Amino acid sequence: MSPMPTPGPINEAPLRIEICKDGEDLARHAAGLFVALAGKALGARRQFTVALAGGRTPRRMYELLTEDHYAYQVVWPAVRIFWSDERCVAPDDGRSNYRMALETMLSKVKVPPGNIHRMKGEEDPASAAASCEKDLRDRFDGPPRIDLILLGMGTDGHVASLFPASPALEERESLVTVSRDPEGLARLTYTLPLINAARAVAILVSGEEKAPMLRRVLGAGARDEGLPVQRVRPADGQLIWLLDQAAGSTLESPHA
Ligand code: 6PG
């Protein structure tokens, strides 16, 4: 078994790109980041707010966080869990991001149920987005600033449920809105103003099918095409890319 990274001093660089050996290594780095940022937030503000991502990449990270090595380092009762997006389906639907996080992590750690703020995918999408936004605003003094927002990236450059050319990308006022995926399913999603207000945003990317898009957005000669992932630019926070070798190995010279 390879050694698990123990969170050390936090690297506070505004942009970090880490290429991990494989999916397992990526999950360990992501779990280590969660633990480190939780400790930092708890020290400063006595709570840690985190928005989880759906998709396949963060699953292993969530599982690892339930293992003793990581779980013992987190003060779970002080963690508040949100989601960066959700499919408009019931919480027990196999496509639900809430269900994935519940099964892999939340049912196994001591986060109080009142600290789990799921997006209500089963309700009318516009009202669910509005109540999700109200819930967020109620939790923060001033504009919501989440400690860690986790995102994945699609092969088309989407993040959360902000798809290329979606009107949701242009939202400037609302923090949570309704969008639609390419298959036509309604989704609830954080908007760019909320994402870019975070203290830290981590984009987890794995698999060789992501390599072409990563080259397009991070490779030498990358230009701003206005793709959703390129519009993730925390105004006063960190942007951390965690890539596996398959996704990131062909980046010649990563740059901002
Ligand atoms: C979701 C997210 C989506 C996801 C990316 C990457 O599926 O819930 O909306 O943005 O993070 O599509 O997904 P993978 O990790 O499965 O590649």
For the chain, the maximum distance between any two Cα atoms, rounded to a whole number of angstroms, is 48
Q: Nearest to residue 205, comparing CAs of 56, 6, 38, 13?
A: 56
Tokens of 35: 């633990």
pLDDT tens-place string over residues 166-212: 999 999 999 999 999 999 999 999 999 999 999 999 999 999 999 99
Say if ligand 1 is within 6 A of residue 96 CB. no
pTM over 0.85: yes
Q: Which residue out of 60, 104, 159, 179 has the highest number of ligand 1 atoms within 8 Å of its CB and is therefore the one to mutate? A: 159
99 lines ligand 1 (CB under 6 A): no
Please give the Cα distance from 91 to 118 (Å, whole number).
9
pLDDT one-digit tens code per residue, 64-116 = 999 999 999 999 999 999 999 999 999 999 999 999 999 999 999 999 999 99
CA dist., res. 36 & res. 223, Å (int) = 32
Q: 233: which DSSP letter? A: -
- Which atom number of ligand 1 is nearest to the Cα of residue 58? 15
**Cα 56 to ligand 1 centre (Å):** 7
pLDDT category at 1 given cuts 50, 70, 90 is: very low
Nearest to 180 by CA among 112, 88, 117: 88
